[in-house]
A and B are shown apart, each in its own frame.
Chain A
Amino acid sequence: MLSLNNVSVAYQKTQAVQDVTFELGVGKIGCLLGPSGCGKTSLLRAVAGFEKIAEGQISLRNQLVSAEHSHVEPEKRRVAVVFQDYALFPHLTVAQNIAFGLHEYTRAQKFQRVTELLMLVGLPGYDRRYPHALSGGQQQRVALARAMAAKPDLLLLDEPFSSLDAELRDDLAKELRVILKHENTTALMVTHDQNEAFAMADVIGVMNQGRLMQWTDAYALYHRPANRFVASFVGDGVFLPATIDHNIKLNSGLGVFPINPDDGFKHGDKVVFLVRPDDVIHDDESETLAKVVDRSFQGSHILYQLELQHVGHARVLCLALSHHDHQLNELIGIRLDLEHLIVFKDNGDDA
């Protein structure tokens, strides 16, 4: 449906997006995830046609829509956008807003489609209200209904939940996924919140400094990150230093672990490996001790921050069941349970 090939976007002299390539299949929900300023919104606007691209190609339905010297205007693309601030037309009713893009529909068809969409987004009977009389969540649903009304080939969502309360976000994210799947809509959204990305998307692309770091599903992103940035951006975790021993195994102060021989590490290589909170198991039997330096009670679990007693006093996170109640400065036993070992060359970089 959507395919990007070596796309770059530039504003005057600053390069916002560099060399991005990915594909999104029909009915899939894609998500561009990254910190603010990483270029994800620029990329979204380039797909919508609001920005011209400097290099590469963007194709929709196998038709070229953006290239270095050709540009299909946004109104010709059949790409609908849900904006961060919703951008509802304040002088039109909810029904008029939703019907705004229904150009070739008769009156009756418009009415039918609007009613259908209001049902779908859970706002039946709201057709005559004006946007200013709606709550934030309701406005967002209307914006979604307006974007989906004309059955666009691709739906773009720019930080769709950022102006909503935290509570509302999770519910709406799930609901939105159900709605999109129900209409079999291909969608691409942009967010900086990985929980939204996990809740909504089939495929996630992590972006940093204008580049697409990885384009894959949530599971692979978490367990097989392509580089240190993705590893540290997605999920919690810390990198611990280690060396590769003569058996081509990873040797850290916390134990020896086998690594994938295909990764190409040699004896004596200095490496770092990722330790996630769920990799650190609290075990009173263990001889490896760590000092509790911080704790946060989370109901069923307690998230401990532990200072290792060797390995350069590095700190790791440990998610323990909450009946293991330890106080600050207490020494507790831990062991590592590394199912997916994530190892990168140590280039002295902390990222």
Chain B
Amino acid sequence: MKILEVRDLVKSFGGLRAVDHLSLALDQGQILGLIGPNGAGKSTAFNCIAGVYPPTTGEIYFYEEKTNNQKPWDLCKKGLARTFQIVKPFASKSVLYNVMVGSFATTDKRSEAREKAVEILESLHLADKKETRAGNLTIADRKRLEIARALATEPKLLLLDEVMAGLRPTEVDEMVTIIRNLREKGITIFVIEHIMRAIMALSDWVVVIHYGKKISEGTPEEVASDEKVIKAYLGEDYAVS
């Protein structure tokens, strides 16, 4: 079943067409990778899907329901959660507080929200930092907190916007394991990433965009050997001989 379908999505800001006739689809339980050079329109596409901006033209379907003009908070309640490329923790509050804001999406009771937040923090190995102020976390922990908060809303589809940028190689490996575990739990994942090693290891299907247009798609291996992708994004070093 298609959990998310984007048809002919266009998003213009004045004269700039950030996303240009992009179409893609995600099946239940899949991990889809979206890659492309800086400024290709990846985050803009995410923002349209998550309800931050309405698309200029085109349609977005979440569970076969058209969600073009729905607001982020409504989409969240329907099971769509996202993280931000530039992390946005509630910096003056504790880690636990941050995650509880997410878990209040599914309950009105403080005790239940707290219980669920603790559970999620434990699963992401953040439980020992639950009383730390979010502003004092390292970048790796902040990225993890972004995921924890999003997970607390009990999403069916999770949009991850560069959760590995700025991490050390060992931390990237940990993050890959975390994302795989999420898929095991049945969460469908749509990920934007620049770290090719991670994208190759994670994705079932990869979409490449350049200047807002889709230039290629396929399995990670197919995409990595595509002439156009090598030219626009990867560089000659990645050419698979």
Query: Are A and B subunits of one complex?
Result: no
Report which B residues bind A (CB closer than 8 A). Answer: none
